[in-house]
């Protein structure tokens, strides 16, 4: 397919004559057009995106992240044109079938983030700011309970989103700041030849809690290995081996906390 005409002039000039495919992976309401050398993400306008673009530009040269080629917005939509990250998603069958390579690569990805000096990073997402946004979402009825883990709101779990929010506000763990991806799930980590080739979907990147990324990666490993996506089960992928590769003890209380927090986003 060729790109539509109803795009900002600067964006249209950069992709003129190029063909693309549509990427349907992910849960956002964005349209993602994938060209040979770039990716165009179109979604409803959000004022927070300009801050995210600033974080991406700050990360260039520090990590293998997409280069921001052009960012435009209008009264309805925003348009982010980025360079394309090479390689395959870490949840690709090739890597899911090679658990040692997969786990080693994910551990490498974490260390790449943790080794970046965060001085000058234009965004900090501490727990107070995350919980403030979670409260806004809950109070405005923006939570889709059908998309939560089965046990979260089941018998013995939380009554509703307000009950969960109250628990989260009253059980905040100690903040452990690092440079955080913010959505450290397998489809957002790319490998090439068994090594990390890049990171995508950086809308929640910034200075954040170390255990948020660990929790979302642990959950993503579990979901992908248990057949939640596509139905194929990979019994040799052991999520707990991630901690051996990282050389840390799993803090399951913090992991549970951040998985529960993610239920409100």
Distances (CA, A) of 86 to 3, 56, 164, 183: 21, 17, 39, 19
Distances (CA, A) of 200 to 67, 87, 129, 183, 264: 11, 12, 23, 9, 22
Alpha-carbon span 130 to 180, nearest angstrom: 13
Q: Outline where the chain has alpha helix (H).
A: 9-15, 48-59, 93-96, 99-114, 127-139, 161-170, 210-225, 241-246, 252-262
User: DSSP class of residue 41?
Assistant: E
Per-residue tokens: 4: 């539509």
3-state percent breakdown (helix, strand, coil) of the chain, nearest 5: 40, 20, 45
Distances (CA, A) of 177 to 144, 151, 188, 260: 29, 29, 21, 19
Alpha-carbon span 192 to 141, nearest angstrom: 41
| Active-site hit among 147, 183, 209, 253 | 183
Contact 45, 77 (CB under 8 A): yes
46: three-class secondary structure by DSSP: coil
Contact 209, 177 (CB under 8 A): yes
92 catalytic per annotation? no
Q: State the Cα angle at 259 between 230 and 220, rounded to 5°.
A: 30
- Catalytic residue ranges: 183
């Amino acid at each position: 397919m060729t790109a539509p005409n109803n795009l900002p002039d600067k964006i249209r000039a950069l992709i003129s004559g190029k063909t693309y495919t549509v990427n349907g992976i992910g849960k956002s309401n964005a349209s993602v057009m994938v060209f040979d050398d770039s990716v165009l993400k179109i979604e409803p306008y959000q004022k927070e995106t300009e801050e995210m673009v600033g974080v991406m530009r700050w990360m260039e040269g520090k990590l293998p992240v997409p280069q921001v080629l052009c960012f435009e917005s209008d009264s309805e939509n925003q348009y982010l044109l980025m360079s394309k990250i090479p390689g395959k998603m870490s949840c690709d069958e090739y890597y899911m079938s090679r658990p040692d390579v997969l786990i080693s690569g994910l551990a490498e990805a974490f260390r790449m983030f943790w080794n970046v000096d965060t001085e000058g990073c234009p965004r900090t997402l501490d727990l107070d700011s995350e919980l403030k946004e979670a409260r806004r979402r809950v109070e405005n009825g923006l939570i889709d309970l059908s998309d939560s883990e089965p046990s979260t709101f089941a018998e013995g779990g939380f009554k509703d989103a307000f009950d969960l929010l109250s628990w989260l506000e009253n059980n905040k763990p100690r903040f452990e700041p690092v440079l955080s991806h913010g959505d450290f799930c397998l489809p957002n980590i790319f490998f090439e030849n068994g090594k990390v080739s890049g990171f995508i979907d950086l809308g929640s990147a910034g200075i954040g809690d170390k255990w948020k990324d660990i929790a979302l990666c642990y959950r993503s490993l579990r979901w992908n290995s248990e057949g939640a996506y596509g139905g194929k089960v990979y019994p040799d992928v052991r999520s707990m081996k991630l901690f051996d590769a990282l050389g840390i003890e799993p803090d399951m209380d913090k992991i549970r906390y951040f998985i529960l927090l993610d239920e409100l986003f």
